[in-house]
Structure 1
Amino acid sequence: MNEFENVTAPPPPPTGVAPQEDRTVALIVHLTGIVASFVVPLILWLVNKDNPAKAWLTDQSKEALNFQITVFIAYLVCSVLGVIGIGFLLMPLVWIANLVLCILAGIKANEGVSYRYPFALRLIK
């Protein structure tokens, strides 16, 4: 087994059924990423990370936080590439991807499904 195989694989989602309150909060966490970037997922993750009863909500907050950090890095790269002109073309694509994936994640979270973003860097473990 190679040491890099475990690094790129996302962690398994917590098992069990999430309560409706946690599913609603997870929906809000994913959707606020469209407007407030990583602020709301960071707050929710910090508040609930030590509470084992909120394991599913903590997992979804961490997933949203990782994705919003990835989007922030993509915006920084687009800003740097704006010097040569291509960044201004890529920035709307990053925004549309953020919008679509946050909506999909919110819908899945409201259904109680642990959503994994396809393009997220897993920086927060």
Structure 2
Amino acid sequence: MTLRDERNWGTFIHLGGIVGAAIFQPAGNIILVLILWLIKRNESRFVDDQGKEAINFQITISLIGVLISLLGGIFEGLWSFGSWVLSGGGGYYFHGGWGWGKLHGVLWIVNVIFSIIAAVKANEGTTYRYPISLRLVK
């Protein structure tokens, strides 16, 4: 694999998280990065390294998304139940709308920003380490 090919594949892998998430929301970011990485990981150390970095970041982003959803569901449920109890069980409850969905939007923006930074660095031939990433795939 030529140096240019290594850089291109590194770039594609980092951008795969954004494209995958846009196509298939629950896990597309992980699936597309994983497919691209598995195709070329044995042909280049650089592609293998950046693929692991990208997959670890996308897994981290997905886990944070699941955590936001779980916490949002728990808090909204508690809020609704508390409002129902305070209303005397008459069926009325106030839906607080704490804005948990907005946190998913912030998470999407974080994914886009860091993935683009990583793609630019990979295109320059520089290895990139995401600042917030669990190192699950080694």
TM value normalised by structure 1: 0.77
Equivalent AA in structure 1 for residue 46 of structure 2 = W
- Please say if residues 13 and 37 of structure 2, whose CA atoms lie closer than 8 Å, have aligned partners that are also in contact: no
1:42 aligns with 2:42: no
Cα separation, 1, equivalents of 2:115 and 2:71 = 25
- Please say if residues 17 and 32 of structure 2, whose CA atoms lie closer than 8 Å, have aligned partners that are also in contact: yes
**Unaligned 5+ residue runs, structure 1?**
1-17
- Please say if residues 34 and 98 of structure 1, whose CA atoms lie closer than 8 Å, have aligned partners that are also in contact: yes
Equivalent AA in structure 1 for residue 125 of structure 2 = G
Higher helix share: 2
Residue correspondences, number = 106
Equivalent AA in structure 2 for residue 19 of structure 1 = L
Equivalent AA in structure 1 for residue 111 of structure 2 = N
**Corresponding residue for residue 120 of structure 2:** 107
Cα separation, 1, equivalents of 2:123 and 2:135 = 22
- Please say if residues 31 and 102 of structure 1, whose CA atoms lie closer than 8 Å, have aligned partners that are also in contact: yes
SS in 1 for 2:126: coil
Identity of aligned residues (%): 42
C-alpha RMSD of the superposition: 1.6
Equivalent AA in structure 1 for residue 13 of structure 2 = V
2:16 paired residue among 15, 27, 32: 32
SS in 2 for 1:124: coil
Equivalent AA in structure 2 for residue 40 of structure 1 = L
- Please say if residues 41 and 62 of structure 1, whose CA atoms lie closer than 8 Å, have aligned partners that are also in contact: no
SS in 2 for 1:64: helix
Cα separation, 1, equivalents of 2:131 and 2:61 = 12
Counterpart mapping for 1:1-125 below 5 A = 19-36=3-20, 37-49=29-41, 51=42, 53-83=43-73, 84=75, 85=98, 87-125=100-138
Cα separation, 2, equivalents of 1:120 and 1:25 = 21
Instruction: Report the CA distance between 1:86 and its aligned residue.
Output: 5.1
Which shows bigger deviation, 68-77 or 78-87?
78-87
Cα separation, 1, equivalents of 2:55 and 2:67 = 18
Cα separation, 2, equivalents of 1:26 and 1:39 = 16
**Unaligned 5+ residue runs, structure 2?**
21-28, 76-97
TM value normalised by structure 2: 0.70
